[in-house]
Structure 1
């Protein structure tokens, strides 16, 4: 932005690889830049989440070509039509938490990507730990991430696979408290009412979801009648290739640190 900031108008355009464009209002103040009107819609449309990485290539005339990568460094599957999923009143509460944009030259999530050299790129990494929106700094000749091949774990599409998953999940036993979730079409994850007694209700609390030797921080929202996973859940879902009908069993391994080991039974 140090190089191109003076050339930009108050209305800039983001163009996704599929050709869709979004208009965003740009605000300047004391040498810093903020995205305002249009950014919340763009963020929701692209399902941006904690750890998402955005690469901006300036194409002139206040237009940017945008690439988006998830927290594991994999380029996302871009939405094909501007249709925003309807949300309930509870989900509106999530929007009160700001999405934070932070630029870090040495961010390790970017270093792990395959690269080739390009010029005039801007990198945004979404972080929810700070309270303010950082300015966008120019990263000249920053390496451009390349899309990696994504391999889905093998799973059967036969109806019997669902019965097998249910049967296997029903046999699960553990010395730790646990609860089971069968994912529906929306793949949202709600904590059963019978298990809520194991949590200390706080409005927002970070759960640590463990699968093998990997960990995902996911916000657990406590509403009077509904406990559910929120920010970070989509990244967890994508990384583990969860789909409708899959069964997840969450073991509470550490109540104090809210560490949950997740066992996945695929349909």
Structure 2
């Protein structure tokens, strides 16, 4: 290991905690002991951190969902307390798991979860904060793939694998991996996701977009018909499902799965989307990705949904929303499409 003199070590510590933006500062914790109910934030982090931590914070998982957690201070420590148990349960944390917390500003942390193999937990990208029974499957894929009714995607994958193995045997191959390596569409399928090419945005720009959206709502007389939603990665880069807060959806949207129409002011085109209810929330799924890509939405852009025509299932009238877009960065840079194996 390269030698570093004591004076430079002191200077490094100062530069890290005082000059490097707090949004780049991280700490990790290993799940040990009574981690299910409370988690101690490292004392050095609390002592040296120059950012603002309020009495509550938000933890954003890799799925894009957010958990609100209270922060309490004892004589010796600062702890994640009320709400932490929900994060543990929803993400299936177990003894020995390794969590990396990256401060994201506004008393918010982005959390990456690794298991005892040293690899990231796959399920952390599909964890949800929905208020579900402990016996209910908590993966977003359970609802996205319609497993709650009818044949599940796992069943379909199993049947597909069986078909492939039978086909490979008939063609003289004994291993399904050999069949997969032939490189045709009969092997692993790929699913699109998108990568932002936008320049790095500042916390001030993010807050400015939110403020403009809130200000716009305040100037409207029928502001109860409006709701602002901050775009998350699962809204605009992958997954492409938008959750509408339940309280607002119950009051302003049809109580059963239905179609809706999205329009952007001063744009002639309109977009038809599918709205569906899960046991605890309403989501916009089908058609949402087309709306996102056509309008170049990105993470932390704010969309204000204004209900201009209430739906009526009796006369088969779809609700119509005007979507007012408040961008973090005014310059539009097209996303880059990529693929991952599924």
TM bucket, shorter chain: 0.3 to 0.5
Higher helix share: 2
Higher strand share: 1
Structure number, greater radius of gyration: 2
Which one has more relative contact order, counting CA pairs under 8 Å at least 6 apart? 1
